[in-house]
Structure formats: structure tokens, C-alpha cells
Amino acid sequence: LATRIHGMGTTIFTEMSALAAQYGAVNLGQAFPDFAGFDVAKEAARTAIANDLNQYAPMTGQPALRQALAEHAARFYNMTIDPQAHITITAGATEAIFATLLGLVNPGDEVVLFEPFYDSYRPAVEMAGGNVRVVTLRPPTFAPDPDELRAAFSARTKAIVVNTPHNPTGHVFTEEELRLIAELCQEHDVVAITDEVYEHIVFEGHRHVRLATLPGMWERTITISSAGKTFSLTGWKIGWAIAPEHLTAAVRRTHQFITFAVATPLQEGIAAALREAEARGYYAHLVADYTARRDFLCTVLREAGLRVFEPQGTYFVLTDITPLGFDDDVAFCRFLTTEIGVAAIPPSAFYVNKEEGRRLARFTFCKTWQTLEAAAERLRKLR
Ligand code: PMP
Ligand code: GLN
């Protein structure tokens, strides 16, 4: 094996889903909806296949999808985006993050991550030859500590990855928190890479702010998102990066040799979904639906004896496992999966400082009521 992958194990998602399958556990671990995705997208993709839109898309993405994304950015964020110059379609947000880091980071550069972090960030930084600097988000609010954040920036800092709404804490970064990040990026000449895949899953009382829209940030931000979470189509892996020309150059230079282009008919499907979602009340429905599921799961977890950190966005709930007498997340999640029959994710996989995540467990509520009720039934055995 190449030295660059020494120390990279199997991702925790694969590991826990395999364990869940082996023990017939209800899977509240790896987050993928077990209900149907947006029918407008599915119908449009079927039509695209029937109409033989089945050859390579342009390297930058299908024009219809880039156009729909420019309109989406104008509608929700008041941004003026040039679909030709500023948007690149990738194989999910995962490829966009990887292509971006490979295109920007030199060996020895530092990249600031908030921990807990989505598990692909660190290997991507390291495969690019960079070093990770972490800023820890701590319960109960998971807001960044301004002094710790400031201390993470130096002359070696090349980029910061900002995931908001944040997986796994459910924290939605406030405008004030983002302003400090913006100030530090400008002071130290740092590029911001945002991961906004949960941009449409934000609960009442909170608002998603796009870092690229803050003063001085458009020219130094790569905004990444994808269709998987918004349209409940995680298996389609259609994502994108939005950035000014000089940063788009970095994304496209690597993307052209990683995948070159991604599934043409699925891009057409997502273009139709973006064009029609709002008029059909889709986004409002998504939030109402996830609010009900969040409230249900939070209540169940509380009644099972866990301390619940109610999420402001995303479809995850972090819990403190110590009230049940556990202090090791891996042991707890293994016990829960094999003995109780409910799979969860041990968050220490998302930390450099493992100790910080050892007393937590992550549950997802992107599941049917039937699945959530089956989990609830089993979780009652915990008491
Ligand atoms: N970022 C975050 C924060 C995520 O939770 C996920 C999905 N688990 C991704 C990126 C990956 O998105 P995609 O499936 O579009 O590659
Ligand atoms: N994003 C999903 C999660 O956080 C899983 C993604 C994956 O399996 N790589 O659960």
C-alpha cells in the first residue's frame, strides 16, 4: 500500500452499516433516507434516459443543471453567478471537496477543520500533502470558541473547511460566527471551502448563511453542496462547487482527471428538481417533515436516558452517553447495535482528539416513521 494511505482504515459508515446488517439492527447510523426521493427528479431522469441523454456530459456539467443552480443561488442567496464560469458539477460533494483540496493545497500547507468533522476531509487534506489543524466544537452549543479559532490561523494556513449546517453536531453557524471566519480568512489570506449539503435542512429559529455572501468573501470562497440530502437521492452523487474563476480553475484542473464528468441523465433530473421544487412547496415540506422526525427521535432518546443536544439543522442528533454509564462511544455503539438492535455512529471517528468525542453517539432521523418507531421500540429496552 502507498504510504499516503497508511493509517486510513475503513470508513466508519461502511463498518457500522455492515454491523447493522449482520445483526438485523435498525440503522440510525449511516445517513441515507429509506423513503423515496423527489419524484420530479426521478421522472426527469427517466425522460433524459429515454431521450438518449446518455453520453458524457461536459466536464463542467450539464448546462441545464448549471443554469438551475445559478437561479437557485440568486433566489436563496441573492448571488449573481455565471453558470459557465463559476459552477462545476462533481460526483457528490465528496468529489468537490477532494478536487478542491487537491487543486489548492501544497505539501506542508495547513488546513483548518472544525472537529467533529465529516470523515472525508482529513484523508483529502492528507492525500494532498497538507496538515490538519483542528478547532474543537464542544457541547452543549457546539459554537466555535473565538480564541481557539484565531489561534488556529497562521502564515502556514492555506484553507479552512466550514460545514454549515454541521454534521454531526447539527450546529448552524450564525452570521456572527461566520463573520469572524471571514475576518480571519482575509487577515491571513486563506481560502474558505464551505460544505453546505444540509443548506435546506434548517429548523425554526435558525438561518443558513452562505459564507461566500459576506463582504470580501466571494473572491476567496469555494461553496460546495449537493443534491443528495435536499432531494433524498443520496445514491445519485450529484454535487457542485461554486467559485470565482481563479478558484474554479483549481477545482476543474483536478476534476477533469478524477472523474471528468458525472452521470448525464441524473444531472438533468436534478436540474428539473431545482427548477420545480419551490413552486411545489418542496423545501417547506422538507423542513416540516424533518422537524417532526427530529422531535420524535429526540424525545425517544431522552426517554431512553441519553442527554440530547437538539440539532439546529441537518438530520443528525448527537447525544451524551454518560448518563447510561458508558464512556466509550465505540463500545456503546457496538453494544447498541448488537444487543439492543439499533445502529448509531461513534463520533470519535470524526475527531483528531478522539477523547473529545468519546462520550457521544450520533443518530440520524432521515428514516420512515416505521423505521423510527421500530428503533423507538428497541431503545425502550435501554432503560
Ligand atoms: N459533507 C457532509 C457534511 C455530509 O454529511 C455528506 C454526506 N454524508 C457529504 C459531504 C457527502 O455528500 P455527497 O453524498 O454529495 O458526496
Ligand atoms: N454522509 C453520510 C453520513 O454522515 C454518510 C456518507 C457515507 O456513507 N460516506 O452518515
CA-based end-to-end distance of the chain: 46
Ligand 1 and 197: CB distance under 6 A:
yes
| Span 250-308, pLDDT tens digits | 999 999 999 999 999 999 999 999 999 999 999 999 999 999 999 999 999 999 999 99
Top mutation candidate among 164, 167, 194, 224 for ligand 1, by most atoms within 8 Å of CB = 167
Mean pLDDT throughout 77-105?
Answer: 98
Q: What is the pLDDT of residue 347?
A: 97
Kind and range of the H or E element at 332? Answer: helix 329-335
Among 69, 120, 34, smallest CA distance to 226 is for 69
**CB atoms inside a 10 Å sphere around CB 378:** 18
Ligand 2 and 30: CB distance under 6 A:
yes
Pick the CATH number of 39-276 from 3.30.70.260, 3.40.640.10, 3.40.50.720, 3.30.1240.10: 3.40.640.10
% of the chain exceeding 90 in pLDDT: 97
Mean pLDDT throughout 121-129?
Answer: 96
Kind and range of the H or E element at 142? Answer: none
| Span 346-364, pLDDT tens digits | 999 999 999 999 999 999 9
Q: Whose CA is nearest to atom 1 of ligand 2?
A: 31
Ligand 1 and 88: CB distance under 6 A:
no
* Range(s) of the chain covered by CATH 3.90.1150.10: 3-30+281-382
Ligand 1 and 196: CB distance under 6 A:
no
Ligand nearest to the CA of 363: 2
Q: What is the pLDDT of residue 354?
A: 95
Q: What is the pLDDT of residue 9?
A: 84
Q: What is the pLDDT of residue 4?
A: 87
% of the chain exceeding 70 in pLDDT: 100
| Complete DSSP assignment for 70-128 | HHHHHHHH-----HHHHEEEEEHHHHHHHHHHHHHPPTT-EEEEEES--TTHHHHHHHT
* Range(s) of the chain covered by CATH 3.40.640.10: 39-276
Top mutation candidate among 16, 32, 113, 229 for ligand 1, by most atoms within 8 Å of CB = 229
Mean pLDDT throughout 31-40?
Answer: 97
Class of domain 3-30+281-382: alpha beta
Calculate the average pLDDT of the chain: 97
Is the pLDDT assigned to residue 383 strictly greater than 90?
no
pTM: 0.97
